[in-house]
Structure 1
Amino acid sequence: MAEAAARVRAMLLITTLLWGVNLTAIKWLTGLFDPVLLSGVRMLAALLPMLVLLRLRRCWQTPSRAQWRQLAACGVLMVYLNQWWLAEGLARSSATHGALITALNPLLSAMLALWLLREALSGRRLCGVGLGLAGVALVILNRPGAELAQGGLGDGLVVLAVLVFTLGAVLIQRLTADLNAVVIGVGVHAVGAACLLVHTVVQGAWNGWPAMPAPGSGWWAIAVLSGALSTGLGNLMWNRAIGLVGMARAAVWLYWVPLFGVASAVVLLGEPLTVWHALGLGLVFIGTHLGTHVARVPRATGPV
């Protein structure tokens, strides 16, 4: 029993480490790739471990037309828009800011679920929402005036990426009762990757082909590993852990994502860490604790 619990904890820790460090990797890669192209490559790579698991388990189910429509909607929200806006935002902002903003994910998920279920928001939860948003606003508005316009736009895009992901996470709940989680993951990421690649082709035909490293460059391998390990393998481990310990216990580990994200940004990219980052992160953590207390966070695939 103790060994099983230790394996679950290790699984959750590795998953949050992959997601946190991946924010820094995306920020780094946006200096070499067009953000939309990068997102498309990463999401195609994310399909690889899912397809391998699907093959090994032989658990494919053929979705109905209604289920395909729901999968398509979730793919557009949770993969296409989420990854596009996340990459565009990180290209304009910093990995540190991105890690802090994505810490709002469980709080916004819980609030959106409560709203859709038409449950009344208690004073405790409203206070949590206020503190979480105040923490993010504190860091965004503390930028120097010369950086506020471009950096603020990037931070805003990351916020939008988190919002569309949480909306898709709530919508996907209707599919979990009838479809296997791996089938859902394959469908959602296939739709999202296709949208991103079509976007890249249309953008290239209209404005010229986007920036990218030379074919055969090692940067392509890093982009593929980012998608396959963080999004693909990370999501599989996350969903496995949820099945073993439940969403309520697993969601607590999401606190590690921004910590790993901020730490990797400081160590690998040399981004500055100020007292405002620490204060903002603290407010987000406190707000998330208050806002998600006794609330059920929607089950979904991982955030990055």
Structure 2
Amino acid sequence: MPPRDIALALGVVLIWGLNFVAIKWGVDEISPFLLTALRYLGCALPAVFFVRRPQVGWPILLAYGMTVGVLQFSFLFTAIRLGMPAGLASLVMQMQVFFTMALAILLLGDRPTPLQLGGAAIALLGLGTIGAEHLGGAVLVPLLLTLVAAFSWASSNIVNKRAGKIDMLAFVVWASLVPPLPMIGLTLLFEGPQAFADLLTISPQAVFSVLFIAYGSTLMGYGAWAVLLGRYPASTVAPFSLLVPVVGFAAAFVFLGEAMTALEVVGSLLIFAGLLLNVFGPRLLGRMRVA
């Protein structure tokens, strides 16, 4: 991979890591459901008028929009609104790797390697360590909501795999038409009309949050990621995503002043070790066998 594409991959990592800080700024002033609606309105408009619809049926687009938009981000935004630390959320969301693996076993007949199963076990131990820190505490419910968001992300990965090889940017743009109406309905149901009136008084920081989440994290991030996946094997590109929690923790410390307890550090290191074993373990084992 030439330096230009390495810089592009690191740029995506930077955007996705900073996204968790932007989410925190957004949910401090905007209803999580309404913020989700605004995110996807920004993703869909005006891009949908300039990007050709991908060659997939509406059921796939609806399923992707529901899992990644209505479920994943409404749960994630709500979790952060209720007190889930942004840095920790950036790591816990990576549990989607193992949820995806489990769903692929159940639904697609995939067979994980022993090293991948070992990585999952280490990550679950880390998650249990973090959970033990917050057992009965105020962050336990947000932690569980973040796990539901990670599972929803994994579900969207399975839908994406069913879609086959398609233009990912077009897929994201057109699927973005799905979440706004359900999210607006949920906003009215749980927050009432006042949530919309509050938009008139939000700060420039919250406006930046909406724009960054919609155009930076989603369109630019996914667009650049799709370009990289089009040029290189997924096994070459995917490991860069392991740096997202690193950026997420650093950004949360710098911009939000978030600190971590000793158990959170231990649990996070275990999850990260499990991710490393899951991503690099099979490749290293293959090289050892060849040697």
Same fold (TM over 0.5): yes
Note if contact 1:61-1:180 (Cα within 8 Å) is conserved in structure 2. no
Alpha-carbon distance in structure 2 between the residues aligned to 1:230 and 1:194: 21
Equivalent of residue 77 in structure 2, options 68, 74, 87:
87
Structure 1 residue 227, shift from structure 2 partner: 1.7
Q: For 2:112 and 2:10, how far apart are their aligned partners in 1?
A: 31
Write out per-residue CA displacement over residues 230-286 of structure 1, whole angstroms, 9 at most, x where no aligned residue: 112111111111111121111101111111111111111111123323322221122
Deviates most, 163-172 or 277-286: 277-286
The structural deviation recorded for 1:101 is: 0.2
Determine if the alignment matches structure 1 residue 210 to structure 2 residue 195: yes
Asked if residue 129 in structure 1 is aligned to residue 115 in structure 2, the reply is: no
Equivalent position to 1:165, from 153, 176, 193:
153
Letter in 2 for 1:10: A
> Are 1:77 and 1:167, in contact at CA under 8 Å, matched by a contact in 2?
yes
Partner Cα separation in structure 2 for residue 247 and residue 111 of structure 1: 19
Is 2:96 aligned against 1:109?
A: no
The answer on whether the counterparts of 2:115 and 2:277 sit within 8 Å (CA) in structure 1 is yes
The question of whether the paired residues in 2 share the 8 Å contact of 1:135 and 1:280 is answered with yes
CA distance, structure 2, for counterparts of residue 98 and residue 84 of structure 1: 14
Instruction: Say if 2:86 and 2:249, in contact at 8 Å, map to a contact too.
Output: yes
When normalised by structure 1's length, the TM-score is: 0.83
Deviation, structure 1 residue 121: 4.0
Normalised by the length of structure 2, the TM-score is 0.86
List aligned pairs for 1:50-65, cutoff 5 A: 50-51=47-48, 55=50, 60-61=52-53
CA distance in 2, matches of 1:182, 1:49: 14
Of 27, 33, 44, the match for 1:36: 33
SS at match of 2:275: helix
Residue 233 of structure 1 is matched in structure 2 by 220
Find the aligned partners of 1:50 and 1:166 in 2 and give their Cα distance.
26
Q: Which runs of 5+ in 1 are unaligned?
A: 296-304
**Deviating more after overlay: 104-113 vs 164-173:** 104-113
Contact 1:106 1:251 in 2 (8 A): no
When the two chains are superposed, the root-mean-square deviation of aligned CA atoms in Å is 2.4
1:128-207 correspondence runs (5 A):
128-143=119-134, 148-177=136-165, 179-204=166-191, 207=192
CA distance in 1, matches of 2:143, 2:54: 39
Which amino acid letter does the alignment assign opposite residue 5 of structure 1?
A: P
Cα distance between partner residues in 1 of 2:127 and 2:213: 26
- What CA distance in whole angstroms lies between the structure 1 residues aligned with 2:201 and 2:271? 41
2:75–2:149 Cα contact (<8 Å) kept: yes
Query: CA shift at 1:46, angstroms?
Result: 2.5
Change (3 A) 1:283 1:62: closer
| Counterparts of 1:187 and 1:225, CA distance in 2 | 19
Give the Å deviation of 1:13. 0.7
Q: Given that residues 96 and 271 in structure 1 are in contact (C-alpha distance below 8 angstroms), is that contact kept between their aligned partners in structure 2?
A: yes
Asked whether the 8 Å contact 1:124–1:290 carries over to 2, the reply is yes
**Distance in 2 of aligned mates of 1:226 and 1:183:** 17
Report the CA distance shift for 1:85/1:216 in structure 2 as closer, same or farther (over 3 A): closer
Contact 2:101 2:112 in 1 (8 A): no
Q: Pick from 252, 259, 268 the counterpart of residue 281 of structure 1.
A: 268
Structure 1 Cα separation of the partners of residues 195 and 11 of structure 2: 33
